[in-house]
């Protein structure tokens, strides 16, 4: 049993090399970026997810990438929430959003699934939509939405999204240290990189 507060940061995506670089996997990329910053190399297979655990500031942090495929993300998230006995206010889900302009970042403390199948599954399994989430804009589909989210970024798009992935990691750090409201105020809208001063 962990003595400190436990926070669960979940990045959504699809497992396997076929999907590794697709737009639908930016949630995974944010978790990868955070693990890189914190020098976390060891992954555990638990609750149908790949997870890494660490102490970060005053919290026990669990980073998770569900291996259930996007549409069944709720199965893994519910299992993790129950296993670690995490309150939904200490859950944060990071995922792509084709309803946001490419590269935009939106943090919310609660809300609907917005048509995102991964979030739809999570809300259904948790029987609640009252948990923080971070949405990363991948831009609207010109054709079929499924083809769009399962396609790779162009070289120009990838340059933009890589910057946003780093900024999203900054926003998660702020969320952990200062809470959702501060993260929303600092990173929603016109996103700014974290100051080094």
CA distance 27 to 14: 10
> What are residue 129's phi and psi, to 5 degrees?
-115, 15
H helix or E strand, kind and range, residue 31: helix 26-37
Q: Identify whether 125 is a catalytic site residue.
A: no
* Catalytically annotated residue among 24, 116, 125, 148: 24
> What are residue 53's phi and psi, to 5 degrees?
-120, 145
H helix or E strand, kind and range, residue 13: none
Q: Residue 4 carries which DSSP code?
A: S
Q: Which residues are catalytic?
A: 24
């Amino acid at each position: 049993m962990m003595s400190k507060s436990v926070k669960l940061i979940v990045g959504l995506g699809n497992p396997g090399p076929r999907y590794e670089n697709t737009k639908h996997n930016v949630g995974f990329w944010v978790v990868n970026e955070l693990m890189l910053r914190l020098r976390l190399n060891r992954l555990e297979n638990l609750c149908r997810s790949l997870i890494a655990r660490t102490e970060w500031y005053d919290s026990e942090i669990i980073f998770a990438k569900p291996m259930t495929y996007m549409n069944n993300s709720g199965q893994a998230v519910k299992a993790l929430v129950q296993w670690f006995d995490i309150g939904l206010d200490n859950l944060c889900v990071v995922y792509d959003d084709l309803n946001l302009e490419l590269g935009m970042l939106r943090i919310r403390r609660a809300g609907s699934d917005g048509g995102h199948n991964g979030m739809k599954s999570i809300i259904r399994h948790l029987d609640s939509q009252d948990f923080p989430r971070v949405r990363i804009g991948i831009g609207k589909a010109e054709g079929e939405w499924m083809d769009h989210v399962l396609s790779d970024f162009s070289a120009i798009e990838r340059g933009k999204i890589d910057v946003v992935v780093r900024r999203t990691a900054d926003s998660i750090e702020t969320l952990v240290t200062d809470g959702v409201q501060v993260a929303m105020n600092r990173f929603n809208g016109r996103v700014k990189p974290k100051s080094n001063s």
